[in-house]
Amino acid sequence: MRVLGVDPGLTRCGVGVVEGVAGRPLTMLGVGVVRTPADADLSHRLLAVEQGLEQWLDEHRPEFVAVERVFSQHNVRTVMGTAQASAVAMLCAARRGIPVALHTPSEVKAAVTGTGRADKAQVGAMVTRLLRLSAPPKPADAADALALAICHIWRAPAHNRLQQAVARHTGNAHTVNAPKGRTA
């Protein structure tokens, strides 16, 4: 399974591609950040995020896109920018028929470190260890994107079984949140 993790943001949108399956060593295929200037017009910043994500999708051809679920913060401006970048990531994936999974920050931290209250340094250290890297990816947005991809790979088997059970129970042949004919 190849997953593009996206840690959404307008100034720095972290991206990371991980390949593998649960229970086996994972491989990092790429990591980086799509950057936009803080003083640019919002529409141009969103366009730049879209263009950057499209390049990552073209280059790495992921089977899934895992995006950090936007959560409520006190700074409404930050939440809005994060939500807008998140929507761009989901749009890019949907345009290509790639299933999208949303994971909360605490879910990702728990999957990678064992605790949903881990700090950025702990997440970076575990991503480094799990992917057998020589150093933590910088900036933290890049490490967070890899953590999202790892979380999805590890949680996908259980999520798929749950969706299949729901589909059997409701008589729906297609899974929830996946394009027709594809399972998440």
Which residues are marked as active site? 7, 68, 141
Go through 152-167 and write b for each residue having 16 or more CB atoms within 10 A of its CB, e for each that does not.
bbbbbeebeeebeeee
Q: Three-class SS string for the chain? A: CEEEEEECCCCEEEEEEEECCCCCCCEEEEEEEEECCCCCCHHHHHHHHHHHHHHHHHHHCCCEEEEECCCCCCCHHHHHHHHHHHHHHHHHHHHCCCCEEEECHHHHHHHHHCCCCCCHHHHHHHHHHHCCCCCCCCCHHHHHHHHHHHHHHHHHHHHHHHHHHHHHHHCCCCCCCCCCCCCC
